[in-house]
Structure 1
Amino acid sequence: MAIINKKIGIIFVLFTTNNVLYVLTNCIGEVLFSISSGTQRIKGLKKIVPATVHLAALQLAHYISKTGFTQLHLKIKGVNKTKKIVVKTLSQLNLKFFTLEDTTSFPHNGCRKKKKRRI
């Protein structure tokens, strides 16, 4: 029997209001690689433009292909219009995902409203 080495990785993508963070971990949870769209020497709201999100995803994919991960799980968190671009970029680079999970938390009812002011 041949022993097959399977490297399992988990990619976490966090969309904040001003930045996009990528973290690659192994199955135990140890951080192996992390990058953000802010590392592209771009400041302000241009960090969440689809072009910079695409460039950071390419750098992540380059590291993944260099280290030789065979099984990947993708977890996306946050609300942003560039979610599809990240998934599309990573899937076009021959990265095979076993699970795609959106872990964005939404409030069920929200905070309690303030009492109406009486004069």
Structure 2
Amino acid sequence: MAEETNKEGKPSTGRKVAEENPEAEAAEAETAHVLSADEKLSEARKTEKETAADLLKDDLGELKIRRAKGSKNITQGVCNVLATFNNTKVTFTDLKGNVISWASGGKCNFRGSRKSTAYASQVVTQTAGRVAMSHGLKEVIIKVRGPGMGRDSAVRAIQALGLTINAIIDTTPVPHNGCRPKKRRRA
């Protein structure tokens, strides 16, 4: 089967040359104009999405901590993390035990079984930590209590905030065979 060639001897692409059909050229230009308008719209949408994503990246990247009104100007403190099976509570105090800030799963709008997740623990710790940092907190001793899933994620969230961790202490109460435990689950 013989291939068609154009004037230069190259294989033809199947399009008619504009010199042969001026009406086809006008129709092609019109469709190109319509396509370019559609392409412009799609590109504009892409750039809008990219800019929104860029804004989110910038927002999550750098923490902007503002000084709180009536800030206590405390540089060292204690972070008490209570991680139960149902919830996670985080309290930042000064070295004497006076509360600087606190947060819990319910305070951060988690309800029901979501309160007991590791993600909820991370959000709770970040919320309380930002308020504590606005009061000038820079160094912290972490006291972790309880068997919940939020223990590790709370410590990681404090590291991510940029607080200096001086010590991590596990203060989970261990009985010397005191109270009778709850009945075993039949799962």
The TM-score, its normalising length taken from structure 2, stands at 0.53
CA contact (8 A) 1:6 1:71 kept: no
Task: Give ranges in structure 1 of 5+ residues lacking alignment.
Answer: 113-119
Deviation at 1:110, TM superposition (A): 4.9
Alignment RMSD (CA, Å): 1.9
The TM-score, its normalising length taken from structure 1, stands at 0.79
Q: In the alignment, which of 78, 83, 98 is matched to residue 166 of structure 2?
A: 98
Residue in structure 1 matched with residue 122 of structure 2 by the alignment: 54
CA contact (8 A) 2:140 2:164 kept: yes
Structure 2 CA distance for partners of 1:36 and 1:111, relative to 1, 3 Å: closer
CA contact (8 A) 2:74 2:135 kept: no
Please state whether the residue corresponding to 1:10 is helix, strand or coil: strand
Within the alignment, does 1:68 sit opposite 2:136 as a pair? yes
Please state whether the residue corresponding to 2:102 is helix, strand or coil: strand
The structure richer in helix per residue is 2
Q: In the alignment, which of 84, 88, 91 is matched to residue 16 of structure 1?
A: 84
Please state whether the residue corresponding to 2:92 is helix, strand or coil: strand
Distance in 2, Cα, partners of 1:60 & 1:20: 12
The structure richer in strand per residue is 1
Moved over 2 A (4+): 107-112
Structure 2 CA distance for partners of 1:25 and 1:6, relative to 1, 3 Å: closer
Structure index of larger Rg: 2
Letter in 2 for 1:30: N
Q: How many residues align?
A: 108
Identity %: 27
Deviation at 1:44, TM superposition (A): 1.1
Task: Give ranges in structure 2 of 5+ residues lacking alignment.
Answer: 1-72, 181-187
Residue in structure 2 matched with residue 37 of structure 1 by the alignment: 105
